[in-house]
Amino acid sequence: MRGIYPSEINEDVARAIGAGFVSYLKANRIAVGRDMRLSSPSIAAAFIDGATSRGADVVDYGMIPTDMLYFAVARDRHDGGVQVTASHNPKQYNGMKMVRQEAFPLSGEEGLVEIRQMIATDTLP
């Protein structure tokens, strides 16, 4: 999930996604990492705020490569993880890559649609 910061993705959106991610996975413990984009620290902090508001413990790995975050999710047995990054997109973009246990990715076919729907309909458990 990616968008232009701050018009399409911002701290309010990240907070809601954090709450939705934890609710969808029924997660107790998640990992969060970020890249070096200027907006990544505040987006990660807002995501963490949303996740903890739903009762999850969060391990903040700070600035870390995406592959290393995925490794940490599996090795440390987290219920899921999120990397704040827009990957190869231009600097005005930011986004998130989300994985479940064992670092299996969430996608439009599984997970992202449900999280978006919970947020849009205000039906977070």
CB atoms < 10 A from the CB of 30, how many? 27
- Longest distance between any two alpha carbons in the chain, whole Å: 36
Query: Could you tell me if 20 and 124 are in contact, meaning their C-beta atoms sit under 8 angstroms apart?
Result: yes
Q: Which residues are catalytic?
A: 87
Residue 55 token pair: 């009762």
